[in-house]
Structures are given as C-alpha cells and as structure tokens.
C-alpha cells in the first residue's frame, strides 16, 4: 500500500474540535443549519436472508430497510405470499414486490401479469418492481404498466424499474443506428415510461458495477461516471429520485468486495445525488455468485461482507437526514497531482478517462477559490432550499490500489467561512478554518460530507 502526504488526518491540520474559538470571535460565528430527522436513505438488499426471525433482525441491524421479494404464483396466476413478507414486517423491513419480468403475457392496459391486487398487501409493501434491466424494446409494455399502476395505486405504491448502465449492447438501446446510444435509451425511458407516473413518486434506478478483475488487476469501467451523471441530471429533469446498486457479490469479472470498495461505491454514488442504494447481493442461492453478505444454507451464517455493509450503512445513516436536504448542483473532477497526466495544446489536463467522459462536469465549485488533490478526486457542489452550501468529497483513486489522498481547499474570502462540520465514518466533528484554507487526508475508498459556516 502506497503511503503519501505525511500530513496529519483532518483533525490535526490547523484545527481543534470546535467548542474552542479564537479570541474575539465569540458571538460572531455563523451557525450550522439544522434539519429534522424525517429523511432516510432507501437501503435495500437483493436476496432475502435465511427464513428465520433472527436472520431478518440481523439484516435490519445492518441498516437494511427494504428487501426485494420475487413473487411466486399458483397455476391460476394468483399471488401466493411467502414467509418473507411476515419476516420482513416483524423485523421492521418493508417488502419490494418483484413481478419477475414476464413480458410475454403483457396486454395493453393490464396492470400486471396476473390478477393480484397489491392493496391486499399494503401492510407489507411500499413499491412494486415491474422490471429489472429492461431493453428499449420493452418500453412499450412498461409504458402500459406505468399508466395502469398510476391509475390504480396513485402514490400508495412506488412504480419501480431498474435500468442497466452504459455497458449495454448497442442493439438494446434503440431500434435504429442513430438511436442506439445510452443517452437515447435513458431519455426514452423517461419520456415513454416515467412520464406515465402522474401521481406517485418517480424513481430512476440503475445497476452498474464498476470493478472488473482481469489478469490479476482490478480496473474501473470507463463509462461509470458518465452513466451516473446522465442519470442524475435525467432524474432532476423528470422529477425523479436517483437510485443505484452496490456490488457486494463476487461474480463474473466483479472481484471480491472489501470494506473500502463498498464504501467507495457508496460515496461515489452520493456525489451524484443518490437517495437510494441496493446491495447486490445480500444473499444468493447461486454457486457462481460468491461471497454475499450471508449464506442461505445455515441460519446466522454471516460473511465478512455482512460486516462491511453494516459498517458503511451505519456511516451513511449518521448524516442521511442532513444530506437528503441538499441537492447536487454539479460534480467537479479534480485530477491527482501525483498521477502523471498529459496536457493538451490548451493546457488542459488529459486525465482519468472516466472523468473525461463526464459531459456536464463543473470547472469550479461555488464559494471555493481552488482545490488540489494528490489523487483523482470528486467534489460535489451542494445546496439546500435555503441556499446553504455543502460539499461531498471522495477519493476517486481505485480502492484496490490502497492510495490515500491529500486534498487542499482554498475558500473564497467573500464566503467568510470560519468552521467546517465534517461527517466522516459516522462521526461529526467541527474544525476551524485558518486563512480560508482547509486540508484533509482521505483514506483509500473514503468520502466525507462537509458543511461550512
């Protein structure tokens, strides 16, 4: 593991934990905004636990508040509830019903594939997953389902469809050569399907697992940030919330997860105004999907991944009620000074290709004069409804490389910031700002939420 920036971690920089103020500043300090406790992240698990009360309690303890349950049907097409619904309810976990993608039986105007009235299960569920990973040719069916759902359920249940990322095959994105691109795919989903949700909550969700292991080396998929950026702005433009998936399970070329890789995914997603996360997978019955959070062959059989997820969730829960009061105005990529990037004829850094693929990245951040970082870094410029500022700062270097990141921020003098509240690994600490400058060192895979005053 490479060690760098032999400067102290946040706390030792210039500051002491607040409560202590320099002489003469009493009564002049700006206060940090305060928020209620009514907002929380949607955090789901894909794959239910072993069917025992204690196993569901452990899931709740790990920060899971939703599980997706795939419907089972009798020959007559009537929904048969399983023990999962009662077990979820008993643990304080809400069920997301997954109808299992059966397009073959879809007919115009039909709500779903069978005669189930989901109002019969209102005590268990709050959203219905009509499809996971549709392709463009499925949109006409999804449009009918969305329309029927909205007419029947309004805002009682959320209409939920989970999209693929930009790794899709071109023929899945459109029906002509001109339309077979990811921008078109997302735009058409929003205009054809989400537009039919007139009453209920709109969700724009995607799963794109960024890590790929080949020849012993873990790399990050080039289109990841472009996908997140496209979905964030599309959600804003269509009155939707943005949700994403996090890879836990080792499968295909996705490597075994670490605590750092899970934390890294979570904070990168938060940079793009994500309000909901789904862990793939919490459990899995498939042999080639290894190292989920729990095993299904024995009650209370917890893997290391369970503890990683529990740790990261506890960190996110510590500031969710604050973060969810802010919107992301944009994301600025900062190229690491210790990465030997080329410069083009205009003096622009030709840096990380993931960052370069972003189409609406910021060149500057409000109230900030300059930011430098030793590793590639993401900085989100955030504002609440009252104009208060916040920043989400993430070490974007590959967490499998183990590199720490020293970030130097110089604030605008006009901002007159004297203190920063920093949320880091589940703790809130307040530091003084000296001469408009602030320095922190981020560990591998780490992100922080920063509020100035």
Task: Kindly state whether residues 198 and 234 are assigned to the same domain.
Answer: yes
pLDDT score at 343: 83
Q: In this prediction, what percent of the chain has a pLDDT beyond 90?
A: 80
pLDDT score at 79: 66
**More confident of the two residues 4 and 140:** 140
In whole numbers, what is the pLDDT of the chain averaged over residues? Answer: 90
Task: Kindly state whether residues 290 and 337 are assigned to the same domain.
Answer: no
Domain boundary residue, one of 285, 317, 349 = 317
pLDDT score at 75: 55
Rounded mean pLDDT, 165-173: 97
Domain boundary residue, one of 254, 287, 317 = 317
Task: Kindly state whether residues 99 and 183 are assigned to the same domain.
Answer: yes
Q: Render pLDDT for 244-256 as a digit per residue (tens, 0 to 9).
A: 999 999 999 999 9
- DSSP code string of 70-93: E--B-TT--B---HHHHHHHHHT-
CATH number for the domain spanning 211: value is: 3.20.20.80
Model confidence, pTM: 0.92
Q: Residue 315, exposed/middle/buried by CB under 10 A (0-12, 13-18, 19+)? A: buried
pLDDT at 2 over 80: no
Q: Render pLDDT for 395-431 as a digit per residue (tens, 0 to 9).
A: 999 999 999 999 999 999 999 999 999 999 999 999 9
Tally of domains in the chain: 2
Range of the domain at 343: 10-30+326-452
pLDDT score at 71: 72
In the structure, what pLDDT confidence band is assigned to residue 105 with cuts at 50, 70 and 90?
Answer: low
Instruction: Classify residue 52 as left (phi > 0), alpha (psi -120 to 50) or beta.
Output: beta
Q: Render pLDDT for 217-252 as a digit per residue (tens, 0 to 9).
A: 999 999 999 999 999 999 999 999 999 999 999 999
Catalogue the long-range contacts made by 284-287 (C-beta closer than 8 Å, 24 or more residues apart): 284/47, 284/249, 285/47
CATH number for the domain spanning 416: value is: 2.60.40
Rounded mean pLDDT, 262-291: 92
- What length does the chain have? 453
Residue 393 to residue 274: CA distance in whole angstroms:
14
pLDDT at 375 over 70: yes
The residue among 187, 199, 284, 198 whose CA lies nearest residue 237 is 187
Residue 5 lies in a domain: no
pLDDT at 288 over 90: no
- Cβ proximity of 182 and 168 under 8 Å: yes
Task: Kindly state whether residues 22 and 47 are assigned to the same domain.
Answer: no
Task: Kindly state whether residues 297 and 407 are assigned to the same domain.
Answer: no
259-270 vs 304-317: helix crossing angle, rounded to 10: 30
Task: Kindly state whether residues 383 and 305 are assigned to the same domain.
Answer: no
**More confident of the two residues 66 and 101:** 66
pLDDT score at 82: 76
Q: Could you identify the residue written with the tokens 């605590």? A: 259
**More confident of the two residues 179 and 107:** 179
Task: Kindly state whether residues 411 and 385 are assigned to the same domain.
Answer: yes
pLDDT score at 74: 53
Q: Could you identify the residue written with the tokens 């967490």? A: 399
Residue 208 lies in a domain: yes
Domain boundary residue, one of 275, 297, 317 = 317
Q: Name the H helices within 344-429.
A: 353-356
pLDDT score at 348: 82
């Amino acid at each position: 593991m490479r060690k760098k920036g032999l400067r102290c971690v946040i706390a030792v920089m210039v500051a002491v934990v607040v409560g202590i103020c320099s002489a003469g500043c009493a009564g002049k300090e700006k206060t940090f905004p305060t928020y209620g406790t009514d907002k929380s992240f949607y955090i789901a698990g894909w794959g239910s636990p072993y069917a025992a009360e204690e196993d569901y309690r452990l899931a709740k303890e790990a920060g899971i508040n939703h599980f997706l349950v795939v419907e089972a049907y009798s020959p007559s097409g009537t929904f048969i509830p399983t023990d999962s619904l009662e077990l979820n309810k008993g643990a304080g976990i809400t069920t997301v019903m997954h109808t299992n993608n059966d397009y073959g039986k879809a007919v115009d105007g039909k709500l779903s594939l069978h005669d189930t009235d989901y109002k019969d299960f209102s005590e268990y569920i709050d959203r219905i997953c009509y499809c996971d990973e549709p392709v463009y040719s499925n949109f006409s069916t999804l449009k009918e389902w969305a329309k029927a759902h909205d007419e029947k359920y309004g805002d009682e249940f959320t209409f939920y469809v989970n999209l693929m990322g930009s790794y899709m095959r071109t023929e899945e994105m459109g029906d002509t050569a001109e339309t077979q691109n990811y921008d078109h795919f997302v735009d058409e989903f929003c205009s054809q399907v989400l537009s039919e949700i007139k009453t209920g909550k709109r969700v724009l969700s995607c799963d794109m697992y960024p890590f790929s292991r080949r020849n012993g080396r873990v790399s990050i998929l080039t289109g990841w940030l472009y996908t997140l950026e496209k979905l964030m702005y599309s959600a804003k433009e269509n009155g939707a919330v943005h949700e994403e998936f996090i890879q836990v399970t080792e499968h295909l070329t996705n490597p075994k997860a670490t605590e750092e890789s899970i934390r890294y995914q979570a904070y990168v997603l938060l940079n793009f105004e994500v309000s909901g996360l789904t862990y793939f997978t919490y459990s899995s019955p498939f042999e080639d999907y290894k190292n989920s959070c729990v095993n299904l062959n024995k009650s209370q059989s917890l893997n290391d991944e369970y503890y990683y997820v529990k740790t990261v969730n506890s960190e996110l829960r510590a500031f969710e009620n604050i973060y969810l009061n802010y919107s992301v105005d944009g994301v600025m990529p900062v190229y690491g000074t210790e990465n030997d990037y080329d410069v083009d004829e205009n003096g622009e850094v030709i840096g990380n290709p993931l960052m370069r693929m972003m189409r609406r990245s910021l060149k500057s951040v409000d109230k900030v004069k300059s930011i430098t970082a030793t590793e590639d870094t993401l900085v989100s410029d955030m504002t609440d409804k009252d104009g208060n500022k916040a920043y989400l700062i993430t070490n974007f270097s590959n967490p499998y490389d183990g590199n720490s990141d020293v970030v130097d921020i110089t604030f605008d003098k006009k901002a007159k910031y004297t203190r920063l509240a920093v949320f880091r690994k589940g703790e809130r600490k307040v530091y003084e700002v000296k001469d408009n400058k602030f320095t922190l060192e981020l560990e591998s895979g780490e992100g922080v939420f920063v509020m100035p005053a």
